[in-house]
A = this chain, B = another copy of it.
């Protein structure tokens, strides 16, 4: 059996699955302190005879093999977790292989292996929620160390909002993550209604980001997940903006199959962590 941890900033999901990655049990628990949360994780996993575990973690985390802080959570506003040796804690509890990557890479792996990217070589998974992050699989290999939610973009002509990113102000995340929508309009995105002009502004930034990613990475498919993308009216708008901004410079594939929601829905992350477990053997 394989174990998987989808470690988010507000909740942890743990699951165990059989050889075919069919999930047989799962739990969800709040993210409190490392000691408290991991104690519950261990209590859950202790009941099973696991071959390997995969972890997709909130971050920033160190994924550079050989680095002295490999496997640690780095500086995070969640102070109890800053500099915590997450991978080390799991490895010292269970003497089995443990796969380790970011939460968004976990979702990318899940969609690549068993979701909307199945059968392709190169995909991009972008999560648009309280932050924006991207995971890329290039020629079948996960590309570590990407932070593509923070690219700088051309400002929308009608947007006078300066952006929420504490580092860059108006980078993609600063202009288009959930908190930016909320601050720009003074009301949460989920309460704006699907006809609000906010979604055109949002699609402009996401379409522009997709254009830059396409020109820089050339993925075969782009999967857009995360809380903001639950606003399904965004999908046709984002496809339209991508096409409009590209101006025919390169031949885009059929946009309806090129820019898609996650096939695994909210299970992309935990599925990816299971794949990571299987591949870490």
List the interface of chain A (C-beta within 8 A of B).
134, 136, 138-139, 141, 143-155, 167-168, 170, 208, 211-213, 215-218, 245-250
When the two chains form their complex, are residues B218 and A144 in contact, meaning their CB atoms are under 8 A apart?
Answer: yes
State which of B145, B151, B249 has its C-beta within 8 Å of the C-beta of A212: B151
A218 to B144, CA, bound (A): 8
A146 to B248, CA, bound (A): 15
Point out the residues of chain B lying under 8 angstroms from A138, CB to CB: 138-139, 143
State which of B151, B168, B216, B250 has its C-beta within 8 Å of the C-beta of A247: B168
Point out the residues of chain B lying under 8 angstroms from A246, CB to CB: 167
When the two chains form their complex, are residues A217 and B217 in contact, meaning their CB atoms are under 8 A apart?
Answer: yes
> Shortest distance in angstroms between A160's beta carbon and chain B's nearest beta carbon?
14
When the two chains form their complex, are residues A152 and B155 in contact, meaning their CB atoms are under 8 A apart?
Answer: no
A12 to B145, CA, bound (A): 39
Point out the residues of chain B lying under 8 angstroms from A152, CB to CB: 153-154, 208, 211-212, 245
Please provide the 3 A-B residue pairs with the shortest distance between their CB atoms, ordered closest to farther. A145-B218, A151-B212, A167-B247
With A146-B217, A146-B218, A212-B216 known, 8 other A-B pairs at CB within 8 A are: A136-B216, A138-B138, A138-B143, A151-B211, A151-B212, A153-B153, A154-B155, A168-B249
A200 to B154, CA, bound (A): 19
Q: List 27 A-B contacts (CB under 8 A).
A: A136-B216, A138-B138, A144-B218, A145-B218, A146-B215, A146-B216, A146-B217, A146-B218, A147-B249, A147-B250, A148-B216, A151-B215, A151-B216, A152-B212, A153-B153, A153-B154, A154-B170, A155-B155, A167-B247, A167-B249, A168-B245, A168-B247, A168-B249, A212-B212, A213-B216, A216-B216, A216-B217
